[in-house]
Structure 1
Amino acid sequence: MKTKIYLNNEKFVAGMSLKNSKELENNNMALHVCENLNNVLENRKKLATSLHCELETFVCANQTHSANFHRVTLDDKGRGADRMDTAIADTDALYTYEPNILLCSFTADCVPVIFYNESTGLVGVIHSGWQGTVKEITLKLFEHLTQIEQCNPSDIHVQLGAALSQEKFEVDEDVYVKFKGLGYADDYIYYKNETNKYHIDNQLTVKKQCELAGIPSEQIIIDRTCTFLSPNGFSYRQDKQSGRHMSFIMKKGVTE
């Protein structure tokens, strides 16, 4: 089981599953793009075992490149864990205060955002493809957490997982215009004359959104692994039939 662990202490465990040719379907973790449901369930069970939890603790959403988020409660435990029709509908970010719930997000080039709050025990995951970024899902969620959940953004730590690099994220003018319209992404865009394409750094744009929400830049860590170039990466750009990484975080609870 190939997994990159970003954080593992007495309070939290967080990481990202990796592509692995030794596993079923290269360690694909997504039910919505798989050859066989049971293969993905086997991969998820192996991951659960390595994290000392059960598949029933997973909570997954049906991601739609929206700016929608959902506060996960104990009633949500197990949603989307072993079948798609129980997943949280039309949602691209999850957060919870509950212990022993593994929040899951699926990507293959999009930016996975994993976060936790040291003082309150809040944890969350965000799926921010370019569409989610221009809809400002990350900024909107952190503003919601600050205003509605009374979170202090200076207590929030963020890990941005592996994603498509700026070199490989080339777009036409329609997408460029959307990023340009944000008003703060200009530094993360360059134009290539030879190809008439724009290249955008989605990770740094998302990092900027975290900073605009009040999160200190030194508390934002970026995994600069390119999912297109790395042999451990699932890339939709490279292969439309690609599997998916799972990014995850769990607040650890006291076990009896």
Structure 2
Amino acid sequence: MKTNIYLDNEKFIAGITLRDEIEREQGNMALHTCVNPDDVLENRKRLAISLGCGLDHFVCANQTHSANVYKVTVADKGRGAESKDTAIPNTDAIYTFEPNLLLCSFTADCVPVTFYHEENGLIGVIHSGWLGTVKEITLKTFEHLKQVEHCNPSDLHIHIGTALSQKKFEVDEDVYEKFKNLGYADDFMYYNDQTNKYHIDNQQTVKKQCELAGIPSDHIAIDPTCTFLNPEGFSYRQDKQAGRHLSFIMKMGN
């Protein structure tokens, strides 16, 4: 199973799975968009083995491009791991303080965000497509963590994963206006006179939301790999039948 590991130490492991021609369904990890669910489950099992955990450690949500945040507990262990029917409903950001739970987020062109808190051990994942970005799911997640969990944002570390690049993220004026209305995304957009399209950098907009939440910019890493241009990327824009990457993070426990 081809992966890009962002973080691997005695406390945490985090990364993203990649598209691979030789794997079942090219390494697709999503049950909600697949040809054969058994192939996806086999891919997930192989990932679990490589990470030293079981499939029953996975925690998945049914993502709906919402701005909803959910706190995962031990009772949620295994949700969505083997069936999308058991996944956490209508949620695009999940977090936990618990060890040995592999928090999962599925993306093709959307922006995946993995994060951890160095001091209190909190971990989480966010799925931010353009709809989630204009709903400010990332900013709202970190505001929630500050207010409800009393997290100091300066102790948070962020990894913004592979996504659709600005070059390939072409939109019409209606989407441009939604980003414009955020009030802080102007630097991440340009207009193409040849195509009459706007180009938006969703990753940089999400990074800005992290900074607005008080996270230091040097605590935010961005994977510049474009899901459309790179053969290791799943791109819904390029192929409506595309599979999904799985971004994951787990806190190590005894």
- Identify the TM-score tier after normalising by the shorter chain: over 0.9
Deviations 1:99-143 (A, max 9, x none): 000000000000000000010000000000000000000000000
Runs of 4+ more than 2 Å apart? none
SS in 1 for 2:131: helix
Distance 1:191 1:116 in 2: 35
Aligned match of 2:187: 187
1:22 positional shift: 0.9
Matched, 1:144 2:144: yes
- Secondary structure of 2:239's counterpart equals coil
For 1:59 and 1:202, the matched residues in 2 are separated by 25
- What are the ranges of 5 or more consecutive residues in structure 2 without an aligned counterpart? none
- Residue 92 of structure 2 is matched in structure 1 by 92
Aligned to 2:158: 158
Q: In 1, distance between residues paired with 2:168 and 2:36? A: 30
Structure 1: distance between partners of 2:104 and 2:129: 15
Q: Deviations over 1:44-103 (max 9, x none)?
A: 000000000000000000000000010000000000000010000000010000000000
Paired position in structure 2 for 1:78: 78
Q: In the alignment, which residue of structure 1 is the partner of 2:174?
A: 174
Encode CA deviations 1:215-252: one digit per residue, 9 max, x unaligned. Answer: 00000000000000000000000000000000000000
CA–CA distance in 2 between the matches of 1:113 and 1:59? Answer: 16
Q: What amino acid does structure 1 have at the position aligned with 2:79?
A: R
Query: Which position in structure 2 is the counterpart of 1:19?
Result: 19
SS at match of 1:31: coil
Quote the offset at 1:179 in angstroms.
0.1
Task: Please report the TM-score for the alignment, with normalisation by the length of structure 2.
Answer: 1.00
Distance 1:210 1:199 in 2: 21
Which residue of 1 is the match for residue 231 of structure 2? Answer: 231
Per the TM alignment, residue 159 of structure 1 is displaced from its structure 2 partner at its CA by 0.2
2:37 aligns with: 37
Q: State the distance in 2 between where 1:184 and 1:154 align.
A: 21
Residue number in structure 1 paired with 2:52: 52
Q: Tell me the residue number matched to 1:122.
A: 122
| 1:27 counterpart letter in structure 2 | G
CA-to-aligned-CA distance 1:153-201 (integer Å, 9 cap, x gap): 0000000000000000000000000000000000000000010000000
Take 1:101 and 1:31, find their aligned partners in 2: how far apart are those partners?
Answer: 19
| Counterpart amino acid of residue 239 in structure 2 | D
CA distance in 2, matches of 1:251, 1:153: 18
Question: Which amino acid letter does the alignment assign opposite residue 136 of structure 2?
Answer: E
The separation in 2 between residues aligned to 1:188 and 1:37, in whole angstroms, is 38
Q: Distance in 2 between matches of 1:141 and 1:3?
A: 26
Distance 2:47 2:15 in 1: 11
Structure 1 residue 9, shift from structure 2 partner? 0.2
Matched positions, count = 254
Displacement of 1:209 in angstroms is: 0.1
For residue 151 of structure 1, report the CA deviation from its aligned partner.
Answer: 0.2
Cα distance in 1 between the residues matched to 2:252 and 2:28: 25
Partner of 1:199: 199
What is the aligned-residue RMSD (CA, Å)?
0.3
